[in-house]
Amino acid sequence: MSATTPTTLDRLGLDALWAQTRGDPTIKVAILDGPVDLDHPSLAGAKLTRHPTMVDEPASAGGVMSNHGTHVTSVVFGQPGGPVTGLAPGCEGLILPVFSDRRPGLSQLDLSRAIRKALDLGAHVINISGGQPSEDGGSVDILAQAVALCREHNVLVVAAAGNDGCACLHSPAALPTVLAVGALDREGQPLAASNWGAVYREQGLLAPGVEIEGAVAGGGTERATGTSFATPIVSGVAALLLSHQVQAGLPADPQAVRAALLASARACTPSTELDSGQCLAGILDPAGALAMLQGTNQPMKQPTSAPSTSASLARPSGCGCDLDPSRTDADDDGVDEYDDLAPNGAAIRPSRLPGASQRIYALGVLGYDFGTEARRDTYKQLMPAVTIDGVTVPANPYDARQMVDYLGDNLSEARSLIWTLNLELTPVYALEPVGSFARDIYANLHHMLDGQIQPETNDGYIERVSIPGRLSDRTVRLFSGQIVPVVEVEQPRGLYGWNVNALRESAIAAVKDRQPEADEADARRSLSSFLNKVYYELRNLGQTSQERAMNFAATNAFQAATAFSDAVGGGMELDNIEVKRSPFCRMDSDCWDVILSFFDADNILRARKLFRFTIDVSDAVPVTMGEVRSWSSR
């Protein structure tokens, strides 16, 4: 840091680590924050690259989130001789803006997208100076899955503990395997506003967090306080430790660095008016962590187990320079699972095949959007008026029934809509038919939208859809202002509408053929349980090989009904779906074994039924390989 750095940083003992390295250019630290002023003098010469995210705006002078992102970035990457010198100026920075000056908050869905993007870009450390209060430290499934992928791929997530000044948790900081960061005051005591809690005592560190100097958008510097600015200090130290490993000829091992940081944390003795839990696991000790990695100290603690997927959300915590814990969520739409986050304060390679990371096979509900008022009004003028109870009224383009009827006569107009794939009420992708079969794909989308608006008792009712496609580098802004990535749909093959009534009857018939004595009501309940388990409990973005295999398994479930009819016909319930890399696969393929586990809810002593089938996800549309295998297990 600069010559006027607070004395709390001096007491960290960075000299021993800085004497070894100021950062290796092969170590990548992703900054998930506000837009960053890459032209700031402190960052001149830094190896920083901004990558496309849902936030497409440039950094703006005076912008709250731009200042926040620029400040956090400079704490890690500020160049020697500039206004602010960072902790690891020699490392590479991946800038992925997630907070916007134009709108408050961030959905956990978009945060999970940014985490996955950082993974794809090869990040070793992901810095998140933000979070959202969570009663039990959990998050929505999609965010928990993204953090779990980081652990699987040996990537360290460092996140702010929050500035509510209570024994309360924030997500993602409280998710297992994340390294949570609280703040120290000038005297080396826990900052009164820094959060604490039982989870943080196992996976949290305290680092200087008062008047941390950093760059601001448009030039100049400022001092800011809070866990937001303690977090990049820990990320910077982690980057230095990884750089030391690489420069010593060892592979970068982020999880080993995490364990060393926690195991080497210095003891903290809080003043009498503070809760002992406010010390978390201890105070960041760079020299101790370095010694531990060099093998001159005690064995490291083991990393925490895999993350929970519970969903519990509450208010944002405010940025590090604003310790007001009041709610600032402007969304508040009742859809809790996609509520807002506000800023607060040998390496395992991905399992996907080269180039396969762009493929998706996702489940959801089809929707459409206009993007602008002008586009919406165009449809309103083109669509014919409707007569309701003898009264003729102008067309309503938001009425899906009217839109379906209009597109039935004017299918070419489907091209001017923004088709979306939604999880519940939240759009996750914009769907763009491309190529020679674009018209056929639009016809399929029209057909599936028609099925979705039918009564549930209708034979043509479609509950949800399966979409194969390719994730592009483009985004589109919806009418609400939300930005979503564009998925190119290249062929109608694989587009699938879940006509649950027809499929359920077909599956029941298959069960009855094999087990005439099977109870039809039990079989129906078992099949419904299967679908709900996949869609609601295991919902995902359909991007990784595992997710695509799982989603195709759900889509293909009714075709496999004859295989697991013993379980369905007996009224057994689906307990778990597990996806593992298959030990057997064709050359140049990407094969995964999906294991379905069924149990008898009325008789827990009854043996479980397990079914395994292999899915190859190397093509745009996954395919089942071989026969379904089954066995019993207690």
Residue 124 is among the residues annotated as catalytic for this protein: no
> Could you tell me the pLDDT band of residue 311, with boundaries at 50, 70 and 90?
very low
Shortest CA distance to 607 belongs to which of 631, 574, 627, 584? 631
Which residue(s) pair with 205 in the sheet? 181
- pLDDT at residue 212 tops 90: yes
- Domain identity same for 380 and 323: no
> Could you tell me the pLDDT band of residue 315, with boundaries at 50, 70 and 90?
very low
Non-local CB neighbours of 414 within 8 Å, separated by 6+ positions: 407, 442, 445, 446
* Residue 31 counted as domain residue: yes
User: 3-class DSSP state for residue 627?
Assistant: strand
Share of the chain above pLDDT 70, in %: 84
Q: Give the global pTM.
A: 0.78
Pick the catalytic residue: 33, 164, 340, 566? 33
The count of C-alpha atoms lying within 13 angstroms of the C-alpha of 16, restricted to the half-sphere facing its C-beta, is 12
**Last residue in a domain, options 290, 321, 343:** 343
* Residue 193 counted as domain residue: yes
Most confident of 269-278, 296-305, 421-430, 435-444: 435-444
The count of C-alpha atoms lying within 13 angstroms of the C-alpha of 127, restricted to the half-sphere facing its C-beta, is 37
Please tell me the total count of domains within the chain: 3
Helix axes 254-263, 286-293, angle to 10 degrees: 120
How far lies 419's CA from each of 369, 442, 472, in Å?
6, 9, 15
Pick the catalytic residue: 68, 170, 244, 446? 68
Q: What does the mean pLDDT of the chain come to?
A: 83
- Domain identity same for 394 and 536: no
- Domain identity same for 266 and 331: yes
Give me the pLDDT at residue 530, please. Answer: 72
- pLDDT at residue 200 tops 50: yes
Of 257-266, 471-480, 524-533, which gets the smallest average pLDDT? 524-533
End-to-end CA distance of the chain: 59
* pLDDT tens by residue, 58-93: 999 989 999 999 999 999 999 999 999 999 999 999
- Domain identity same for 300 and 428: no
> Could you tell me the pLDDT band of residue 482, with boundaries at 50, 70 and 90?
confident
- Domain identity same for 133 and 276: yes
CATH number at residue 177: 3.40.50.200
* Residue 321 counted as domain residue: yes
Joined tokens for residue 302: 């083991």
- Domain identity same for 236 and 297: yes
* Residue 351 counted as domain residue: no
**Last residue in a domain, options 276, 308, 343:** 343
* Phi, psi (rounded to 5 degrees) for 125: -130, 140
pLDDT mean over 425-443:
93
* pLDDT tens by residue, 120-167: 999 999 999 999 888 777 777 889 989 999 999 999 999 999 999 999
H runs (alpha helix) in 343-464: 373-382, 400-409, 438-452
- Cβ atoms of 84 and 213 closer than 8 Å: yes
- Domain identity same for 489 and 508: no
- pLDDT at residue 544 tops 80: yes
* Residue 2 counted as domain residue: no
> Could you tell me the pLDDT band of residue 243, with boundaries at 50, 70 and 90?
very high
Give me the pLDDT at residue 601, please. Answer: 75
Rg (CA), the chain: 26
- Domain identity same for 297 and 370: no
* pLDDT tens by residue, 533-543: 767 777 888 88
pLDDT mean over 182-187:
92
**Last residue in a domain, options 464, 497, 530:** 497
Give me the pLDDT at residue 351, please. Answer: 30
- Domain identity same for 487 and 540: no
- Domain identity same for 506 and 493: no
- Domain identity same for 280 and 376: no
Cα 503 from Cα 507, distance rounded (Å): 6
* Residue 1 counted as domain residue: no
- Domain identity same for 331 and 379: no
> Could you tell me the pLDDT band of residue 620, with boundaries at 50, 70 and 90?
confident
Of 267-276, 324-333, 529-538, 567-576, which gets the smallest average pLDDT? 324-333
Pick the catalytic residue: 228, 235, 264, 312? 228
- pLDDT at residue 337 tops 70: no
Joined tokens for residue 594: 């999906």
Give me the pLDDT at residue 561, please. Answer: 60
pLDDT mean over 404-411:
95
Domain ranges, residue 577: 502-633
Give me the pLDDT at residue 540, please. Answer: 86
Most confident of 9-13, 36-40, 393-397, 577-581: 36-40
